[in-house]
Chains A and B, each alone.
Chain A
Amino acid sequence: MSEISMTLLLLLVLFVLLGSGIWVAFSLLGVGLIGMALFTDAPLGEVLATTVWGASNSWSLAALPLFVWMGEILFRSRLSEDMFAGLSPWLTHLPGRLLHVNILGSGIFAAVSGSSAATAATIGKMSIPELGKRGYPQSMIIGTLAGSATLGLLIPPSIILIVYGVATEQSIARLFIGGVLPGLLLIVMFMGYVVIWSMLHAGEIPGGEEKVPFGEKVKRSRRLIPVILLITGVIGSIYSGIASPTDAAAVGVALSLVLSKFTGTLNRQTFLAGLLGATKTSCMIAFILAGAAFLTVAMAFTGIPSMLASWIAALNLSHYALLGALTIFFVILGCFLDGISVVVLTTSVIMPMVEQAGIDPFWFGIFVVIVVEMSQITPPVGFNLFVIQGLTGLDILRVAYAAVPFFLLLLIALALIVVFPSIVTLLPDMMGG
């Protein structure tokens, strides 16, 4: 059987397994098993058990449950109320006023949580009813929320960057720091878009916010100070090299517990619910990673990835053409699959091709994450859309339509990091440790 038909056959098997509703982790294991059984003589079961054991007991992967737990604790705290009360008095002079609460709030929550759906839920819980009550245009409320909540994936700590780092043996600390500047760039772009839109549609932004004196503004935002300290502590310690991401995550969990103790949201029930929630989420992700680790090894046995790599090399594509093609491929894939599955499929099959083309695998991690951010707001499968649909009761296509400008802004950001890769690599190159 030729290698092309081999690839097509396995791709078909994967889509049949996924499409028929089989759990992602089992689909990955299934394709790996079928591929190895059909095309190699390798000892299937032994390779399966050894690979998965090797991939599952890992020091750096231990950052995953801890960061998930930290997000769970803060999700159950008063953070969303504090965020709205603390941010809104500062933003009343900017065109677009309180719409910026969605963007900045998401940016801040993204820096304590690794998930974009959690960011959308936490910020939207408060901002959707409050902004709606004040008469802000609905499409802008849900658009800004859907778009900026995707920052949860890019701004560290990021679950998906941990997944990418573990799957490709890249330094998670470097990936985290690499996400900082692109994340800030996106915040600026989103805010800039809201400012311009609001100047063009000045009549649609309600005024009438009370004038708050400076001292009162500071007083209202004092509850945000511990969170800001938590963020600078976690990111700063990783950047300076004092702490590994796993260390920083454990300290982050402890500080979040202290924080929610002081704000009175920590009790036996919320503690246990947070821990159990983190256990389930991290189990789900670790199992997908285990499936992906096996798929990677199985694919290497079949020789498909290196075959694809030399095939791409023979085409002599420019970087831009290759990245363009991959973007289109990922966006389509992202319409049907969740972000983590897109990332692990990439790392098991496409990585050799990317390295062959001379693309820096570290930079490529940030690239993939921004593409995955775009997939969070594309129907029919986009987790931010699901969350906002749940919060507002609006039709998913309506939410997706409101998010289109932010999808395009993400696309522009993607083009910017392709043209200026130093947006990604600048900070990591200056890191300590």
Chain B
Amino acid sequence: MTVKLLVTSGRTLTQGRAMEKGKLTSDYENAVAVCELDATAMESLGIENGETITVKTEIGEVVVKAKLNKNLHPGMAFIPCGPYFNFLLDSYTQLTGMPGFKSLPATIDAAPGAKILTIEELIQLMKEGT
């Protein structure tokens, strides 16, 4: 079942440490190719913690790993700031210079066995799109 959610992004401790280590590490990939969901969303999607999902917005879609966050409220999802979230984000800043990092309407589907792109593959995909 498709779930409609508002996705927000921000820092996490894991993402911060991985970022300092290096953006091209698997640590970093694992830290940011993640979407935190609450229990009801996971139930609606019929997935377990750690399974792959597709997150889709008007701009495009990306496969990431679902992560259960019991403290997350229904209706919201969280993807750490980074290239997977930004792949879904439009560039409209309302002339303030600031894109809408904090609330991105998205639809989420279970994607069992789908492949999460590596950082390199993501870059390649964006290159091809130009």
Is chain B found bound to chain A in the same assembly?
A: no
Binding site for A on B (CB under 8 A): none
Give A residues with C-beta under 8 Å from B. none
